[in-house]
Structure 1
């Protein structure tokens, strides 16, 4: 881990306690290709822990090189472990040369605020607000989803691409597999360690085949 990230590990613990249990604070280490969580506070909101991979949005920030245009992204949409909507933000951490070495993320779960508001609305005889995210939340390109492992990340990304869950690899044509690999590559999935072997396994292909698809897409 880059030495500059050590001070942010303390910040994660501090912010988690200062902001309270409705705020999940996460530090991702991107130095040396680690691309995983190294510190987390109030992780029950997303159900993740230390070692969990980058989210789909964090991978997209890498693929789009968002950090070169902005120092942070504020107020995008996430989905909690309980399938309620989160308000998420990310700060890009860079070294002295401007290279991205980490991301500090804050995910706010407004569930308790909504519950309190609904209690007031009920006293006034008015309909309450929903805590649940829409059914399409996990499939939306602008929504952050959280996974605890690389296999889960690959599975989630494939489902996002195909628009379906549990599609057997035997039902996919070579053209469909190439399109999936292309979409996963554009979404930054291959920044994760072990992603190539896991994509190969879930597509029923060899690692060499996945690398061949990637090479073909670059040509």
Structure 2
């Protein structure tokens, strides 16, 4: 599929965006540059992203755990864009040898349809009846329909900084600490988690994580070397 797949899928992205309409964001990622992987996007107002935005944490996880090797797509998992919950799906674009070269993603914002559903119900029933008996718990409903909890929900960063902040803040909140206050063992454990999530596939991630954790880039590389079977050495 060398060369030609990008043009074909760019046209498909444009086509799907036009056919499905403004509530469906259609995104094409080229994995040749994970930092600026979006090469085509239709209805980008749904997530607020533009061409040149990076891969998402869920996309990185799919690469790291090689889930694309046993499945051709993922359907209806949770996407979070600001205060909106989206219904997200991803098609894995592979070459003739089965290597992952891109991703075609569709993110559906169904909020307008849910609002319309509420209005229709209220035409037939008193408001208090609808609010009491037909309350829509967005997060619970979406998560129940989304089997793979290990990969979590998907956020839509516009830059490496946003992506790294999202993943770092998530882990730091669970430890109730700031990066600078973490001890050596905690920093090592945090880098191991971030590495498993694929963040260090992104150019500049080592430098940014080092700044957030209050340590040197050499220390981060030392941690990564230890995870790959090398000797650790001391704190830097």
Partner residue, 1:170: 180
The offset of 1:163, in angstroms, is 2.4
CA contact (8 A) 2:92 2:102 kept: yes
Q: Deviations over 1:102-156 (max 9, x none)?
A: 000000011011010010122222125448657xx9xx85211111110111110
TM alignment of 1:60-209, pairs within 5 A: 60-81=61-82, 83-123=83-123, 124-125=125-126, 126-127=130-131, 129-130=135-136, 133=139, 141-163=151-173, 168-209=178-219
Gap runs ≥5 in structure 2: 144-149, 230-236
CA contact (8 A) 1:75 1:89 kept: yes
The offset of 1:2, in angstroms, is 4.4
Q: Deviations over 1:159-214 (max 9, x none)?
A: 12222699543212121111111111111111222211211122122221111011
Indicate how the Cα distance of structure 1 residues 43 and 68 shifts in structure 2: closer, same or farther if over 3 A, else same: same
Partner residue, 2:147: none
**Which range is displaced more, 202-211 or 22-31?**
202-211
Gap runs ≥5 in structure 1: none
Indicate how the Cα distance of structure 1 residues 17 and 50 shifts in structure 2: closer, same or farther if over 3 A, else same: same
Counterpart secondary structure, 1:31: coil
> 1:2, 1:181 → 2: CA distance?
36
**Which range is displaced more, 29-38 or 110-119?**
29-38
Partner residue, 1:59: 60
CA contact (8 A) 2:180 2:212 kept: no
User: Normalized against structure 2, the TM-score is what?
Assistant: 0.83
CA contact (8 A) 2:86 2:108 kept: yes
Determine which structure has more spread, i.e. the larger CA radius of gyration: 2
User: Normalized against structure 1, the TM-score is what?
Assistant: 0.89
CA contact (8 A) 2:87 2:108 kept: yes
The offset of 1:3, in angstroms, is 3.5
Indicate how the Cα distance of structure 1 residues 19 and 63 shifts in structure 2: closer, same or farther if over 3 A, else same: same
